Structure 1
Amino acid sequence: MYRKHSKELLIYVYLSYAFVYSVGQVLANPPAETRIYLDNITRILDRLLDGYDNRIRPGFGGPVTEVKTDIFVTSFGPVSDVEMEYTMDVFFRQTWIDDRLKFEGPIEILRLNNLMVSKIWTPDTFFRNGKRSISHNMTTPNKLFRIMQNGTILYTMRLTINAECPMRLINFPMDGHTCPLKFGSYAYPMSEIVYTWKKGPLFSVEVPQESSSLLQYDLIGQTVSSERLKSNTGITTVLTMTTLSISARHSLPKVSYATAMDWFIAVCFAFVFSALIEFAAVNYFSTLQANKEFRRTNAARAAAAASSDREVNLHPLDPGGVLKKRLNSLSQKDATERFSRPPQPDFRQQGSAVPANNMLTGTSIIDKYSRILFPLSFGAFNLVYWIVYLTKDTMESRPRPDVSR
């Protein structure tokens, strides 16, 4: 039994060793076809670079070198209105033909890494309106390089581009802008290198605009008796509109002209301030009318009191001295209690010198007209404002992107 198990174990070890040895031999000695293929690729690359001068452009002294370009945008934004710039992450592709790199072999496309890029001629492309551009190098330079049999070169790199975008904000925030990306050759003129788009028509990227909230106010239609509430509301609204205007200007670049938002905020501020002036006028005229009514009432009371005194003086004397007898009949004790009693304090409610009047608790004629005039005028302004800006072509027109120098 023991010998049987030992024999099986030896057979298993022998088979395992034979399998590992066979795999090692295959890996160490690839098939002849594979060796020939690798030798051909190496021979092709050596022959391509033999006598190649990467300091000279393709077709030097002859036809213009055409560089076909296209861009694949992976992310767009942010767009800064203050700095008038935008940022995007792209794959920038360039294709050109270099007759010096034509080859024949078992493969149609040579797929190479970025080490080959430094050994051949590449366009000296730069972004004319770029501020800051970053070429990604993690973990290795993000570049793709291909060579076709007919000498066509495909060179792709990943870039993050920060470019300027001049804006005319006269229709802000209902305006539209076309942000260009201008690039070309830094050293070669157009007589030697031209850039063309490889694919069809360009695609536009639309960035949504931030919505702005409008302030609401209600100063007209309150009763005139709430002077403190109404004045506080008016002053607070005026300060809020001022703060809104200042903060809106801080979120925009400094320009020498008024934007559409500036006009809207200015008109809203004018309406709020007019409502505050309307309240002051109503309060002034109401107080003035109340003072007149107060003086008229006092004059009537004084006239009535004078007329009553005149009637008492003209009344005949009490016959028989009945009044005198009644006064003498008062006892000394009653007189002492009556005249020695301290006077009772007369508590009266303190308030405005002007008594309560219906003019102050009602609605004045100015308020009646303002309730109609203010909403109608503000509605008319909004109607004209939005019709003008919604029907107006606010997209800033620009020429087609410049891809050459």
Structure 2
Amino acid sequence: MRRLHFLLLLLLSTLFLFQASNAHNITHLLADHPSFTTFNHYLSLTHLASEINRRTTITVLALDNAAMSSLLDKNPSIYTLKNILSYHVLLDYFNAKKLHQITNGTALAATMFQTTGSAPGSSGFVNITDLKGGKVGFGAEDNAGVLDTYFVKELEAVPYNISVIQISKPLPSAAAAAPTPGPSEMNLTDRMSAHGCKVFADTLLSNPEAMGTFKDNTEGGLTVFCPGDDPMKAFLPKYKNLTAAGKTSFLEFFGVPIYQSMAMLKSNNGPTNTLATDGASKFDITVQNDGEDVTLKTKVNTAKITGTLLDEEPVAIYTLDKVLMPGELFKAAPTPAPAPAPAEAADAPKASKSKKGKAKAAPTPEADSPADSPDGDLADQTADENAARRFEGATFLAAGFSLFLGLLLL
């Protein structure tokens, strides 16, 4: 009987771990609430749903159909609507209980809009305040923090993972509601220049052929990896030594002719064609990921993605910590040969065969080792990592506790 109890505990522990490993799905959670069908529809249409699903700690401020109608009456473009809705996704966990237990009664929460690169200053933050009489108010920071939106009720909650709560009306944010150009109207180089990639943007502008290739791909899908200003500035002497054709290929090498969100990059390890690819296995890059880090690799070196400048399908722009170099234009650093063993002195006594050891070859350094990169500019990086550690720790403790109880029953 005790063994049966032990096996049941092990089974429950395994089921708990299995459920914990499954990610949430915002569209499925909202499907049980018919008053939120319009909100749910536009989360999918703007591709915000997939971004919400990939995050580990999130709060969705849901708008019912009536509130969405007041928002849609203003006829925002799909790109502007995505910014507005992203302002209603907090990069922290707030369920009904936590809202009434905020330290000092007020908190400032970052939103997903803050991660888009379109939020100037502190405009991507929301003020949350526990008011008297059981009310909780929400106010957009770029609206002077005016608390004119209120908590209505909790819809769904998976503790410390995702919370879906209803608020009374849309949060008024001038920055989020500003007209957002579509991909054909978007100035890619302006976006890069304003967010730490000016040297690369200026270099791209100076090459009409490469610039034309980038523009031609904005409608159908484009992912750009732009090196930061410091590494690109240091690299310019090498760039200037390339031929005209080499310069064009080098710049096009930093574009991929399909849209890839961060979630897609994290799930698609392997070789990827670039705008410079002309034939099999030429001018391609290898995408690799380790947890939250995504790196791009060639035969010459490796660069890490450090931030997101834009992620609005069909265009995504990411920053790199160094200049990625294609093997077709640059050679990998030669691997140093092992140092020769020191010659034995002529008058030194020879060691006996039983004591004579084999010389160990010196370890071969890697051709390129990624440098430590600065922290990315995503506001929720730290929160995601901390939540992941807490989540893993909780599942480990649960499993250990179940095993401990089982052993006691034996």
Give the alignment's TM-score, normalised by structure 1: 0.16
Structure of greater Rg: 1
Question: Which of the pair is proportionally richer in helix?
Answer: 1
Relative contact order, higher structure (CA 8 A, sep 6+): 1
